[in-house]
Amino acid sequence: MAALDGILVVSLEQAVAAPLCTLRLAEAGARVIKVERTEGDFARRYDHVVHGESAYFVWLNRGKESLVLDIKQPDDAALLARIVGRADVFVQNLAPGGAARAGFGSDDLRARHPRLITVDISGYGEDGPAAAMKAYDFLVQCETGLAAITGGQSEAGRVGVSVADIACGMNAHAAVLEALIARGRTGTGSGIAVSLFDSIADWMSVPLLHYDYAGKAPARAGLHHATIAPYGAYACGDARQVVLSIQNEREWRAFCTDVLALPDMAEDARFADNSRRSANRAALDAAIAAEFATLDAAAVVARLAAAGIAFASLNEVADLSRHAHLRRVTAETASGPVALPAAPIRWADGARPAGTVPAIGEHSDAIRREFAG
């Protein structure tokens, strides 16, 4: 029996944040009814790379039922109201105020159904000057300052995956589980509101604390770390790059002695501690580059491993596809099977099933019969 067997989740969802939250609930055994417009979740049309289907959609919507409704129509609104009346969790990430205008505001729903857990996912929260603004992942990365500390020295950069959406969906999922535990003790549901902005602002705590208390935010550092050195990608004599990270003074001494074969460098005043190494990063990197240029990547890796220094390869997506640690699951779609990364949680009693990706309205008829007035 899965942990959330018997839990009914109804979600007016689109894009990434809410679907990620409900995906995790579905993986835990909840029944998730995904309410879509006639044209479907617009994430279905982000691309067509997976047998003609969207990569985002097949990733985020496994194990759900698709119900097409037009909630502006009285009959469809009444059907949704009946479903919500039997639900445990109601999730929505419509445009700000959209759910309330349609008669599905969270406060009203919980007043009618005290055991219901409601989740409102938004860009900037329920109030404030930006509450009504559209908030796509890239925009929130820029608005929170994340893009300003990402990228190389000469240009800001977007994180290459939808981190604002993903962070928000993860926070919503965790909050739902907390609310279910609380309801089990009190019998009463909870109102949850999660925003993309708040999710990334939380992740920006360290740069923000640097600015607020030291007067300066960390500079963009590309593949280096803004405040730790040495930390980054270094070219070897065969033009391959190795990524390494020094976290403490013991590792620094071992790196100088056993990797660079320059034991005196550990005592150099310019590099005596992490703060001074960061301040003298150009000289530090030049010394590392000079030694690594005499070795191929395999030799550098052998030295790093022997010295107990943390390292990695600077891989491409193609390398991830072949990576020995990449676990995959196969999900069925209307267009054919799709190999996806397995869920990140590993359970001692075995993997959870991947679930099937629904076609638009695939379950509409059955759900309408089940919840007929």
Residue keyed to tokens 């660079």: 260
Tell me what pLDDT residue 130 has: 87
Assess whether pLDDT exceeds 80 at residue 1: no
66 neighbors 367 (Cβ within 8 angstroms): no
Assess whether pLDDT exceeds 80 at residue 202: yes
Assess whether pLDDT exceeds 80 at residue 289: yes
Across the range 182-201, mean pLDDT stands at 97
Q: Are strands 231-235 and 241-245 parallel, antiparallel or unpaired?
A: antiparallel
DSSP 127: S
Residue-wise pLDDT tens digits, 56-94: 999 999 999 999 999 999 999 999 999 999 999 999 999
Residues β-bridged to residue 356 = 332
User: What average pLDDT does the structure give for the chain?
Assistant: 93
Tell me what pLDDT residue 118 has: 98
Tell me what pLDDT residue 126 has: 85
Tell me what pLDDT residue 152 has: 86
Across the range 31-56, mean pLDDT stands at 93
Band the pLDDT of 140: cuts 50, 70, 90: very high
* CB count in 10 Å sphere of residue 214: 9
Across the range 278-297, mean pLDDT stands at 93
Tell me what pLDDT residue 19 has: 97
What is the DSSP annotation of 108-122? HHHHH-TT-EEEEEE
Both tokens of 336, joined, read 């054919």
Q: Annotated catalytic residue: which of 48, 51, 224, 225?
A: 225
| Residue 113 known to be catalytic | no
Across the range 21-42, mean pLDDT stands at 95
358 neighbors 64 (Cβ within 8 angstroms): yes
Tell me what pLDDT residue 372 has: 92
Tell me what pLDDT residue 138 has: 93
How far is residue 108's CA from residue 104's CA, in Å, rounded to a whole number? 7
Tell me what pLDDT residue 127 has: 85
Tell me what pLDDT residue 175 has: 98
Tell me what pLDDT residue 354 has: 85
Assess whether pLDDT exceeds 90 at residue 369: yes
Band the pLDDT of 23: cuts 50, 70, 90: very high
Across the range 109-123, mean pLDDT stands at 97
Assess whether pLDDT exceeds 80 at residue 262: yes
Tell me what pLDDT residue 77 has: 96
* CB count in 10 Å sphere of residue 352: 18
Residue-wise pLDDT tens digits, 146-189: 999 999 888 999 999 999 999 999 999 999 999 999 999 999 99
The answer for 158, left when phi > 0, alpha when psi is -120 to 50, beta otherwise, is beta
Tell me what pLDDT residue 373 has: 73
Which percentage of the chain shows pLDDT scores above 90?
A: 82
CB-count burial class (<10 Å; 0-12, 13-18, 19+) for 295? middle
Which percentage of the chain shows pLDDT scores above 70?
A: 100
Q: What is the pTM of this model?
A: 0.89
